[in-house]
Amino acid sequence: MLWTVFHELAALGKLDLESMGVVMQLTELERQAIDVALSGPDEWSRQLREQVKKLEVQDRKYTGFGFYTRFGCENCTPVVLPERLKYWHPGAWATHPDVQNGADGGVAFTLHIKDGILFQLEGASTTSWPVEESKIGNLTRDESED
């Protein structure tokens, strides 16, 4: 419960957990978005899923319309992605009742990969980022490159 309050204050820019020496973990929403984005049957998806177990959150920045969560991944084996994925990033769509077009996938998540290592998760919304993240649902994998 207390961690949820800290997280919500940090999300609103009212609290800087990093300066307090708090070790940040993936939020439940971040973990779900990553799991869905990497749920494909390909070998590269499986290899990236192995990296998730070793991810350490380095920082999390809220923009008002979403967030960026950067990771470190100590001892992760770089994944060789197929050439067709060179400029594409795994992602997921979600819904939220308070987001414009929220019923049509107004919330998006994109995983960024740098040199074969998971580097960053980006969350974005068609309107301001919802205060009640727990209402984000219906996550589906972006299959635009499948």
Q: What pLDDT is attached to residue 99?
A: 84
At 21 the pLDDT is 58
pTM of structure: 0.80
- CA separation (Å) from 58 to 40, 70, 84, 91, 115? 26, 5, 29, 20, 17
pLDDT digits (tens, 9 = 90+) for 62-104: 999 999 999 999 999 999 988 877 777 889 999 888 887 655 6
Specify the higher pLDDT residue, 8 or 85: 85
Distance CA 25, CA 29 (A): 11
Domain boundaries, given as residue ranges, for the chain: 25-141
Do residues 24 and 18 lie in contact, with contact meaning Cβ atoms separated by under 8 Å? yes
The mean pLDDT of 20-39, rounded to a whole number, is 88
